[in-house]
Amino acid sequence: MPGFPSPYTVAVVGAASGIGRSAAMLLGGRGVTVVCLDRDISGAAGTADEITAAGGSAKAHAIDIVDAAAQSIVWEKVVSESGQLHAVVNCAGVTGKANLKAHQVDPDDFDFVYRINLLGPLLVSQAVLPHMLEKNYGRILHIASIAGKEGNAGMTAYSATKAGVIGLVKSMGKDYAETGITVNALAPAVIRTPMVAALPEAQVKYMTDKIPMKRCGELDEAAEMIAWIVSPACSFTTGFTFDLSGGRAVY
């Protein structure tokens, strides 16, 4: 179990549901001040309310990660409220239309997926890095996917943009390696989330059949790994993509 100094503030983008919500709840239970961010402000507020009801500290804000100007205002408010933003976990992501061959992909849908899955992580990073550079400390974690390493048939836009996140993290990790800031990614296989539940059953079976453990990952397994990656204990790893794949990827 990672230890966190007090105070320690972590912002979780995508905290309304899925991996983001689970990570926010676990961090809140370990004494971290959690800033719950999501386009779904009611969902983010619900997560924050659960954290505070359990004795933790949390606030919620709406955010649109593809709107650079609007999110800049949100991050300024987060920093003002917290004094120091120690870490950011970006879980925002969409699959786009699935179960399509590459020649069937709608370019507009591809652009939609790209903006959230790849442009969004860049804009989030650009918004928080100046503050972290001033403090000589930061942890940035973007959620990629095993699809970004191996590709999933029928998911061209998703696979391509998650591969882009892995490349983004590799470059950014080296950019800030001497600043006290780490930038990493997490590549889950199939985790039991609402986003996975929305996929066609055939698509989920295709992905699960590739996992040697022959099961989906659980939300608490993702949350535990996230907590360690954004803790002070994870201090000598940057530009890296951690696998959470049940043995599907071992590289």
- Please confirm, yes or no, whether 158 is among the known catalytic residues: yes
> What is the rounded CA–CA span in Å between residue 131 and residue 155?
36
Q: What SS3 state is found at 249? A: coil
User: Phi then psi for 11, rounded to 5 degrees?
Assistant: -95, 130
To the nearest 10 degrees (0 to 180), the angle between helices 41-53 and 18-29 is 30
**C-alpha distance across the termini of the chain, in Å:** 24
According to DSSP, the residues that pair with 148 across neighbouring strands are: none
**Amino acid occupying residue 71:** Q
Token digits of residue 238: 């940057």
3-state secondary structure 71-104: HHHHHHHHHHHHCCCCEEEECCCCCCCCCCCHHH
> What is the rounded CA–CA span in Å between residue 118 and residue 62?
19
Token digits of residue 184: 């990493």
Give how far Cα 195 sits from Cα of 53, 137, 156, 192, 249, Å.
27, 32, 16, 8, 21
Catalytic one among 137, 158, 206, 251?
158
Query: Hey, which residues are catalytic here?
Result: 158
